[in-house]
Structure 1
Amino acid sequence: MYDVTLQHPTLDERIYACRGGGELRTLAYGVARAQGQAVTDDRQMISDVGQLRSQAAIDGVGLLTVGEITIKAEPADLTAGPRPRFDRNALMDLTTDLDDAELEAAGGCGGCGLEADQTCVGCGRCNCDRHDSCARPATTSTDPQ
């Protein structure tokens, strides 16, 4: 059993439990998918996860970088209490959070999903803010002639 920590430059660390190699492989494939990367060489990924497991068993910690995420695996600390599993919901949360972080890095808002150029014309704020005091631009008539 492994305690697995996902580390990304712009996200908080996430800690999961994996019962064995199969769950660790599922996590590694999920991490690739969450970043929009297709695993094109299954043998290489399986080998990389095997090396991660071996490194964790021998050195007490193993590291595998998939895209911008580092997967850190350690033998499970059974005194630390239960850890969540990397399931479908965790994959969806990771995908959403990575998308939001990318949007925010480009000047948009991950909270409301707006690109940088989609903010309020009056004040430049996103949909997370109220815009009651903004003067809306004059609209052009769309009445059919």
Structure 2
Amino acid sequence: MNIERHVELASNIGRSLAQLGPDDHEMAIEAAMLAGTHWLNAALHADRVAGEDEDVVHCSMLVVNTVRKYAVAEPGLVGALQEIEDLRPLHVRGDVPGGSAAGHRALDLLAAMRLRAVDAIEAMGSTHSADSLQEAR
């Protein structure tokens, strides 16, 4: 998938997240993971570390050397996505206390991921998605 499509999909998910209520932590975590994956992929494509045919689905599903390569290029993004993924087993379809706080944490991580990805895309000198990047910022 190309950068512009990742930005479009992540932004759509972000708009949907704005509709959630304070008790919707499961949806917040799931949506943060999905949108975060799009932001990570967009940044990796912008950094020219991953081609358009090489998208991350889950960090936990990558082979170790691939995770390490991506973490060198985008340590904050990879770390944030891994943290969001780690929230899922406990708080999505789980009954561990602290779901609301976990949902808020996922959204905070997603916001940081979005800003980093936009910076990476802008740094590559891309103008094809300038409007969508301004909206995402």
Richer in helix (by share): 2
Instruction: Return the index of the structure with the highest Cα Rg.
Output: 1
Q: Shorter chain as normaliser: what TM range?
A: under 0.3
TM-score between both structures, scaled by the size of structure 2: 0.23
Richer in strand (by share): 1
Higher relative contact order, chain-length normalized (CA < 8 Å, sep 6+): 2
